[in-house]
A = this chain, B = another copy of it.
Amino acid sequence: MASLGEFEFIDQFLKAQAARGQPFYRHPQALGIGDDAALLPPLAANEQVAMASDMLIEGRHYLSQVDPRALGHKVLAVNLSDIAAMGARPLGFTLSAGLRDIRPDWMERFLDGLLSLARDAACPLIGGDTTAVPADAPEVFSVAILGAVPLGEALRRDGLQPEDDLWISGHLGDAAYAVSRNAEDPKLNWPQPRIELGMRLRGIASAAIDISDGLQSEIMHLCQGARNRDVAPKTLKAVLNWESLPMGPSVTASIASTALSQADAICIAITGGDEYELLFGAPQRERAAIRSIGAALGLALTRIGHVESGRDGPQIDWVNTAGQPIPAQWQQRISGGGFRHF
């Protein structure tokens, strides 16, 4: 097992890295790593704080042999994705790590991936700790992240209204397809949190969520979220066009080469996790505004269906462009639900 000396080295190493390339706060009363707690610069008037946290465990959320740069990126990206899904601007994050030992090359690359994304997202590392875990235990990384959003403008899960369109960013399927083949894929290893999109959707989207557990499961969360509001109808039904789902390039290529059936592709796109795209609802009157945002960001934004008042609890009807229901055997496969880490 590594000695504490090495862990102190890591703390120093983090500080050095942070000082070199980090978007550190310039406010004279802000404080990064090194005190009992970090101090953030004051928020803008009328902003409120958004906070999320996520733990990644070796062998559960990532494989031991993963490229450490990609792992560093992903540990932060999945948390930034939560901040994006609230429409918040990132403020900073803490990292707690439970490590078996210190492998300097590995750590340097991990921090490179982590802090490159932190810099790009203007989201500095402001604190954390490192602890030794036993030699046969999985390593663990826990990030907590803060964002800021104007009061009342956050994109919540509970705002969906009947007749709202449902939209998704980017494309689906490549991450889960890579997992199923034990393959690498940029979508799986280098997820891009949709921070700018989330911020631009303030005042436009009625509700938003990031797709970490699979499209179908996240749609159900939005429909269930609406139930919790007094003002909304108690039950929403989503009507979605499976032919409209934007497939990722890996999935598309594999359909073309017949390595993957269309049924498999649809199932992967609907249930696959680790997408980190945004799923959001918006009134029909916002279609042009949303298309403009997509064009400005160079990001595909696809309308995949809408919601309407339902009966008998939240549900999803999958149809094709002609309005015909999805084949029964496909429905059976996708009704198993979202991607599970367990």
Contact = CB atoms under 8 A, between A and B. Distances in A.
A157 B208 CA distance: 41
B54 A38 contact: no
Contacts of A152: 29
Given A144-B94, A340-B4, A51 B37 contact: yes
A158 to B, nearest CB: 8
Contact of A127 (B51, B95, B149, B340): B51
A158 B4 CA distance: 24
A260 interface: no
A117 interface: no
Contact of A46 (B42, B51, B138): B42
Interface string A14-56: 0000000000000001110011111111110011111111110
What bracket does the count of chain A residues touching chain B fall in? 35 or more
A30 B146 CA distance: 15
A60 B144 contact: no
Interface string A70-112: 0000000000011101101001101111100000000000000
Contacts of A127: 51-53
A36 B86 contact: yes
Contacts of A42: 46-48, 151
A156 B35 contact: yes
A133 B140 CA distance: 10
A311 interface: no
A146 to B, nearest CB: 6
A132 interface: yes
Contacts of A94: 51-53, 144
23 contacts: A4-B341, A4-B342, A36-B82, A36-B85, A36-B86, A37-B88, A37-B145, A38-B52, A39-B154, A39-B156, A49-B49, A51-B92, A51-B126, A54-B129, A55-B98, A55-B142, A57-B131, A61-B131, A131-B341, A132-B342, A134-B138, A137-B138, A140-B142
Interface of A: 1, 3-4, 7, 29-31, 34-43, 46-55, 57, 59-61, 81-83, 85-86, 88, 91-92, 94-98, 126-129, 131-134, 136-138, 140, 142, 144-147, 149, 151-152, 154, 156-158, 208-210, 225, 340-342
